[in-house]
Amino acid sequence: MNTHTTPNGLSTVFILMAEYQQADIPLDIIAEKYFAHDKDKMQRYARGFKYPFPVFRGGTQKSQWLVNVNDLANWIDQKRSEAQHQQQTLSAA
């Protein structure tokens, strides 16, 4: 479970749930927004499990690819933490 909070005190999971209004978000939306991947590239990455978070199909092999909101939030929080660390390191130099 994600425990990170944004500067306004809201958790990343809460913000993503408010934005997408579902716990399992279609990967095509996430792939385009965060990676600038078109549908073909998204399919290749999903089949090869190359995304930095778990992806899965909602049912059969023909079902759309999904990403769980907690997994996406953890990845976003990790990237934010890495950026903060890098900024602090560079600012201290």
Q: Mean pLDDT for the chain?
A: 92
Cβ distance 42 to 34 under 8 Å?
A: no
Task: Report phi then psi at 5, rounded to 5.
Answer: -125, 155
Q: In sequence order, what DSSP letters do the residues of 17-62 get, joined into one string?
A: HHHH-SSEEEHHHHHHHHH---HHHHHHHHHTT-SSS--EESSSTT
Model confidence pLDDT, tens digit, residues 33-54: 999 999 999 999 999 999 999 9
Q: Using pLDDT thresholds of 50, 70 and 90, give the confidence band for residue 55.
A: very high
**Cα gap 77→79, rounded to integer Å:** 5
Model confidence pLDDT, tens digit, residues 63-85: 999 999 999 999 999 999 999 99
pTM of the full structure: 0.86
Q: Is pLDDT above 50 for 12?
A: yes
